[in-house]
Amino acid sequence: MNLQATTDELLLAAAKIEAAVQRAVRAAVLAHARAGHPVSTWRDGQVVWIQPAEILAKFAEESDNSRPGT
């Protein structure tokens, strides 16, 4: 068994899993915001609520920045 190949495969799998989790969290946060519900998160050592307008603005900004030529 090639140990390096196995390590590379594990790292690739971990990266794919992390990307899938990030996509799922993004979808869940957007679904909450679109439904008008705030989302809680951890900031500076405490739980804070992010309002739907802030969430939607953040995702709109990210979407604008990901377009070619912007």
Write out pLDDT tens, residues 16-62: 999 999 999 999 999 999 999 999 999 999 999 999 999 999 989 88
Task: Give the number of other Cβ atoms within 10 Å of residue 55's Cβ.
Answer: 19
Can you name the residues that pair with 42 across neighbouring β-strands?
A: 47
Q: Report the half-sphere exposure of 58 (CA within 13 A, side-chain side).
A: 11
Strand segments, DSSP code E, in 4-64 are 39-43, 46-50
User: Which range of residues forms the domain containing residue 52?
Assistant: 3-66
Number of domains in the chain: 1
* pTM strictly above 0.85: no
Does residue 70 have a pLDDT over 60? no
Going by pLDDT thresholds of 50, 70 and 90, the confidence category of residue 63 is confident
Q: Do the Cβ atoms of 38 and 50 come closer than 8 Å?
A: yes
